[in-house]
Structure 1
Amino acid sequence: MSHTTASISLDLETYIRKHFHVAAEDTYFNRDLHLWKEGYVDSTGAVEVVAFLEERYDLRLPDEVLFDPTFTSISGIAAKVFELLNG
């Protein structure tokens, strides 16, 4: 299956909304906000997000990706996962 940044973003957004109880009517939540600074995902949740991504896309996220400044929003994370999948 070929993944796009849009499909990865959708998967990740769906996961975060469900597992971190983000209400559908939360108009502040979007794919570009900083998930940690804005309090949507805490440090334990970050580990859960990484585990979800690694299992869902059958990949290993290297440390340099995890500490990349763009690995803080759904859009940024999706772009990094897309890059890893398409080498």
Structure 2
Amino acid sequence: MRSLLILGLAVLGLQFGCGAGEADTEMQSDLTSREDPLIRCIADYYITYYSDATYTTAVGSERCVCDRTPTRTGIQTDYAVENYYEECPWRAAETP
């Protein structure tokens, strides 16, 4: 009897759709017209990414210049070496 009741409720849920698929399409975000803000660098730095813990084969890099968008090439891994890092002059002036 209990399983019959559960089955009946499941069928009713499927018949009425549980509200799924009835979302207002006018309220959904239009990704073609959305503009997300770009990431801006707050420091000058250069990072090299390596394939493994031997740090012999470089597979990617990341370069950041103050107040610009980061430039990334290759892939990012857990094996990274920060070759250069310097705070942006305007950033150093803001910190107390």
What TM-score range do you get, normalising by the shorter chain?
under 0.3
Q: Normalising by the residue count of structure 2, what TM-score does the alignment of the two structures yield?
A: 0.22
More strand by share: 2
* Higher Rg of the two aligned structures: 2
More helix by share: 1
Higher RCO (C-alpha under 8 Å, 6+ residues apart): 1
Q: Normalising by the residue count of structure 1, what TM-score does the alignment of the two structures yield?
A: 0.23
